[in-house]
Amino acid sequence: MTVIADARFLQGNEACAEGALYAGCRFFAGYPITPSTEIAEVMSERLPKLGGRFIQMEDEIGAMAAVIGASLAGVKSLTATSGPGFSLKQENIGYACMTEVPCVIVDVQRGGPSTGLPTGPAQADIMQARWGTHGDHPIIVLAPSTVGEMFTETIRAFNLSERFRTPVIVLADEIVGHMREKVVIPSKGEIAVEARRKPDCPPAKFKPYDVSGGDVPPMADFGEGYRFHVTGLSHDDSGFPTQDSAFVHADQVRMMRKIYSRLPEILKWEETETGDAEVLLVSIGSTARSARAAVRMARGMGIRAGLFRPMTLWPFPDARLRELSARARLVIVPEMNLGQLALEVERVAHRDVRIEGVFSAGGEAINPRQILKLMDA
């Protein structure tokens, strides 16, 4: 029997929705906002047919709250937004971090600040994705560069969210969200999909934040017999508020440790021609596509260029970038903003290497020749 591959010509936003459904997402709450709206459109059509639920909320604040509630009830949940909507979600993203509720937030970036350029691409939410909500908090941020990665990285986002009990952000940009490429949708089971780890104790002995078995506590669903309290206040292992400073500090450290002690499970990057690179490009998203083209052009001119592309943006892949930058004479950071990724590269890179940026904040993609010009300077 011949199995015909399910090959489709998809938009990035459509591929994201397909990835969420493949991962088992059965709830979407959101509010229409350019350039992410197609994700909501696909989910509104597909979810009811799969026994799921779609709801358009009154605003982005309510959408994030609904996603948290659905996840607490045991349903893998998604929201998608851009720019101003991402800003509005931040308080409830912090609530999800504090309460350790798994969920996935897609941010298809556009020009800003404020209303900015609703239809123009940008990569100006890099730092907001890491530090947008207040306080020390764990977060995982993935940065797809292709339509295919919008599918696979959305699946990975759900898997990491369930494994670590944390919100995960898929940080795309308008170009990746709206371009169309061939995507082969794998059969069920070809890509592993993680389920939530449930408690193995009787309900009477359940504590929602009992970490005696590890830094990531098991999670019961509302409605299956396990009663527990959920609050954004600092809480003890029972879920009720506490002001015990020693406990609160230890718990804050534990929430960060659950991410940073298991980096090999989270970090992912792509390298192009980095083996002998004396000029190292560091870029994400659609701009990395221009950077890869610039590498090819530079190699044709005899310039030993290479590309390092973080696919996990946060936590940042410090160690590998530090290693690569130590062998380079120049590091170039192309990005559609005024230097957010460059700041992180400056923090991490070898202290003797020169770092230059190629920045664009006007809603236009960066051309490979703009990058090449700086290499040849």
The model carries a pTM of 0.97
Q: What is the pLDDT of residues 89-110, one digit of tens each?
A: 999 999 999 999 999 999 999 9
pLDDT at residue number 223: 92
Report yes or no on 197 lying in a domain.
no
Report yes or no on 307 lying in a domain.
yes
pLDDT at residue number 1: 46
Burial label, 5 (beta-carbon count in 10 A; 0-12, 13-18, 19+): exposed
Asked if residue 299 and residue 151 are part of one domain, the reply reads no
Report yes or no on 230 lying in a domain.
no
Distance in angstroms (rounded) separating the CA atoms of residues 155 and 142 = 11
Report yes or no on 235 lying in a domain.
no
Q: How many domains does the chain have?
A: 2
What percent of the chain stands above pLDDT 90? 97
Which residues constitute the domain of residue 312? 269-375
Asked if residue 276 and residue 168 are part of one domain, the reply reads no
pLDDT at residue number 185: 96
Mark the ranges of the chain whose per-residue pLDDT is less than 70.
Answer: 1-5, 376-377
pLDDT at residue number 350: 86
pLDDT at residue number 4: 56
* End-of-domain residue from the set 185, 212, 230: 185
